Each structure stands twice: as structure tokens, then as C-alpha cells.
Amino acid sequence: MMRGECMDEIFPAELSPYRAFSEAEWARLRADTPMTLTEEEVVRLQSLNDPVSIAQVESIYLPLSRLLSFYVEAMQHVHLASNRFLGTRDTMVPYIIGVAGSVAVGKSTTARLLQALLARWPASPKVDLITTDGFLFPNATLERDDLMRRKGFPESYDLPELLRFLSEIKAGRRNVRAPVYSHFYYDVMPGQSVYIDRPDILIVEGLNVLQTSKLPRDGRAVPYVSDFFDFSVYIDAEIPVLHKWYVERFMRLRETAFRDEGSYFHKYSKISDREALEIANDLWTNINMENLVENILPTRPRADLVLTKAPDHTIGQVALRKI
């Protein structure tokens, strides 16, 4: 798919693996789903430089919440049918939702909004959220292996540890440990962990969560992170738009978080605007855009749902994979 083209512009409608909706068409699918977030809560859930209006929450995220409620209920019925067939009493395992997309596209905002909305279903499910940042190798390891400028690329993650985590989650284990990442220190925090204890729903957010690899010729099973997902969302936007958002966010951080002397990026708060723009453009062009084009964007067709953003951050199209 070329940039700027919509899902329904590539394939005839009868051949496309997706059904595309405008915002208005998707909004009608909300039906009677109640709005459970206030405007103040929506503002609090936004990431820096990723504005979202309460109107968009109602038109985009509420219908998605309704769809997911149907899918989770259907999965519960499948689980009960499996137990009945096998004569077992296996515990229900978490329904896992993956959220993928480029740096600066707004994955964190989407993940937090979904968590807040799903947790307020009438059944009050337990909804946890984790990012794959914690599964990056520590900076010391990346520096040793000359991978600091490849941070965020597939090879910078401890994939076996991430797969171990997801496997234990899907096995219904209690208190599954995950490492903690700090964007302030730009590193995995030694000795710090979070524990995920059998949530009803787990949201996993990350750049490369839909990534695959070459299949072995001998037919060996090669697990992917996405093998553990029950549903996946890809947040999409034009590359020039993502570039603009990334640079804007970088410049805003210079006036906020980077000013703290403890920040890994504090040095960028002391340079001129011109120097900062040069650095931001270099980081985008030679690291983040390269990762996007090589590794992230090619995974978009694997998503169950694609949310396409306009330059003003609004979601103008929703593409849902046909079942």
C-alpha cells in the first residue's frame, strides 16, 4: 500500500481483507454504549503532543469498546466449549489486545483510553496495560553490542523474555513478572518489576508487537509475540506527518521533562533551537523512520483493526479485518 492510500483504494471492496469505515459510519456502531469517561479524564489520558477530543472518544473508541466486549464474550464461550469437550475445568486466561504503530503516532494514548473504557464495562473487568519497553535490553548491553542507535529495532529487545512473559500470562499463571522501563532515565530500571496477576484483559503496547521473522525450512514452531494476541490494533499516519509530530514532541520535551537535571536527555535542553531541530530530524530520519519503514509499517496488514490518523491527530478512517 502506498502512503496516502486508504484500504478501500487498494483492493476492490469484495477482495479487500478489511471493511473500511469513515468516522461517521463507525460512530453509528456505538449503539447504546454509555460514555463513562469525563472530559477531564480524557485529557489526563492523553500523551504529550497527542490531543484527543471527547467527541473522538465517543465516535471511535466507544464503538471499539463495544466490539471488543462482543469478542471477549465470544472467547469466553469458546473456552467453556473447550472445557466441556475436554472434560476439564481450566481457568479462563486473559484476553490480550496488542497495540502497534510508529513512534509518536499515539499508541500510549490509545492503549490508556482502551484500558479506561474496558475497565468500566458493567462487569467491571480487571484490565492491565503493559508496554514492551521494559523488555528492551539495558543500555549497558546495547552499548556493549553497539546497538544504542538501534534502540526500538527488533534486535534491541530481549525477545525470549517477552515471549516467556506472554506464555505465562496465557497459561494463567499468577503474578507474572515484567521489567520496568523509565523514559526519564531512558533505560530499564534494575531491580524494578511489575506483576500481572490474571487480569481479564491485558493490553500490550509496543512498536514491533506484530513483527514476524523468516520461517524455518524444517517446519519448527517459531513463536511470535502476536501469537499470544486475541485482537490487535495498528495506529497509522502518513510518514511526513509522523516526522512532524516527532519533532514537535521533541521540542516540547526540551521545555518540560528534559529540563530536569536527572533526565537522560537533559543535555538537549541546553542547546539552541536550531541544534535541537537538527538532532530531532537526525533521530527521526536515521533511526525512527528507518525502523518504521523496515520493521513496523510492514506489519500493518497483520492487524485486526487499523486506525488512520489525519495531520490534526483525528482518526478519519477505521479499517476492520473481515472474519
> Count of domains in the chain?
1
CA nearest neighbour of 182 among 225, 146, 139, 129: 139
- The tens digit of pLDDT for each residue in 253-280 reads 999 999 999 999 999 999 999 999 999 9
* 134 in a structural domain: yes
* 6 in a structural domain: no
Range of the domain at 63: 12-212+222-321
- Quick check: 204 and 166 in contact, CB under 8 A? yes
Question: How distant, in Å, are the alpha carbons of 69, 96, 168, 198, 317 from that of 172?
Answer: 20, 12, 6, 6, 36
- The tens digit of pLDDT for each residue in 303-317 reads 999 999 999 999 999
- The tens digit of pLDDT for each residue in 132-143 reads 999 999 999 999
* 236 in a structural domain: yes
* 270 in a structural domain: yes
Q: What's the CATH number where 293 sits?
A: 3.40.50.300
CA 295 to chain centre: 14
- Segment 166-177 mean pLDDT: 95
pLDDT value of residue 220? 72
pLDDT value of residue 323? 82
pLDDT exceeding 70 applies to what percent of the chain? Answer: 93
- The tens digit of pLDDT for each residue in 16-71 reads 899 999 999 999 999 999 999 999 999 999 998 999 999 999 999 999 999 999 99
pLDDT tier at 215, thresholds 50, 70, 90: low
* 80 in a structural domain: yes
pLDDT value of residue 123? 87
